[in-house]
Amino acid sequence: MKAKFDKPLVQVLSPYGEWPHRLGMQLVDEKSLESMKSAARFSALVGCGIPVYVGHPDESPRSKARPVGKISRIFSLGDGIGVEAKYTEEAFRKISSGKLKSMSPRWRMQKLPDGRFRPIKLISAGLTNNPNIPESGRVVGALPAGLSSARARAEKAEEISRRAKSAAERAQKCSESARRLGELSRAATVEARMRLAKPPAKTGGGESLNPAPKKISPREMADLAARRSEELGEPYSKSFAAIRRQFAFHNPQTKGIK
């Protein structure tokens, strides 16, 4: 009996980035997306779709494995490549329940001048629990089965794609806010240390033993210490002490206050 593919899902095929492969490093970017979309147009026109298997049985020319799903569309998720696929009832149930959590794309690649490889045509996809590319196969949303026209499915998929992109952008903003908060916290720590630091020792005549160090702000001192720590591989506190000996604390916000 012919398999019935009537359970639609929108999934991540691959985030943009570099992913290791036995042949070398894979570069998945917007050019990959455009190439794969172009290559998939013929499959979409004839209505056969790109097959989805459990694993990669199609790598063997003698395999008689039957697909459990068909990919009908490839599109952008903003920060990666998404696919619209339809599955059999059994495959849909396994994906939805988490028994098959991920996807492994099998694609044709183009070797780049720098030695990396860019995927340019999606041949098939294999459902797996051991993906080579993180996030591949993650379900972004489910398309209602009642959407009969290609236009309605495309519009719904785009809506899901926009929501996924919005969620990714919110996560990025949260990450940036956390980073800025960390920088401010580090600058405040530097300022507190500076206020508690003892002044340089003086000679009997009241002059400093060393020339007056250059004045910098707490944030500048923190950045210099962090850079030195990273470059030399030494503890941040040691780098901070070394920078402290070279510069004097200066807080422009307190300038003119008596």
Q: What is the 3-state secondary structure (H, E, C) of 146-181?
A: CCCCHHHHHHHHHHHHHHHHHHHHHHHHHHHHHHHH
| Higher pLDDT among residues 241 and 249, named by residue | 241
Both 13 and 65 in a single domain?
A: yes
- Does 2 reside within a domain? no
Both 76 and 14 in a single domain?
A: yes
**Per-residue pLDDT at 196:** 54
- What is the tally of structural domains in the chain? 2
Both 138 and 11 in a single domain?
A: yes
Statement: residue 97 has pLDDT above 80: yes
Length of the chain: 258
| Higher pLDDT among residues 171 and 36, named by residue | 36
Both 45 and 136 in a single domain?
A: yes
**Per-residue pLDDT at 36:** 94
Both 128 and 177 in a single domain?
A: no
119-155 tens-digit pLDDT: 999 999 999 999 989 899 999 876 555 545 455 555 5
Q: Which of 51, 79, 78 is nearest to 65 (CA)?
A: 51
Q: List, in sequence order, every beta strand (DSSP E) within 16-99.
A: 17-21, 24-28, 50-54, 69-76, 80-87
Both 132 and 218 in a single domain?
A: no
**Per-residue pLDDT at 171:** 47
| Higher pLDDT among residues 41 and 18, named by residue | 18
* In contact, 41 and 150? CB cutoff 8 Å: no
Both 140 and 177 in a single domain?
A: no
| Higher pLDDT among residues 226 and 18, named by residue | 18
Both 93 and 132 in a single domain?
A: yes
Statement: residue 257 has pLDDT above 90: no
- Does 155 reside within a domain? no
Percent of all residues in the chain with a pLDDT value above 70, rounded to a whole number: 65
**Per-residue pLDDT at 147:** 47
Q: Which of 29-43, 73-87, 240-254 has the lowest mean pLDDT?
A: 240-254
- Does 151 reside within a domain? no
pTM, whole model, 2 decimals?
0.56
CA distance linking residue 107 with residue 127, whole number of Å: 14
Q: Domain range spanning residue 43? A: 7-144
102-124 tens-digit pLDDT: 999 999 999 999 999 999 999 99
* In contact, 74 and 13? CB cutoff 8 Å: yes
Statement: residue 244 has pLDDT above 70: yes
Say which amino acid occupies 49. G
Q: Which of 26-30, 192-196, 230-234, 244-248 has the lowest mean pLDDT?
A: 192-196
The mean predicted confidence, pLDDT, of the chain is 77
**Per-residue pLDDT at 22:** 87
CA distance linking residue 64 with residue 172, whole number of Å: 44
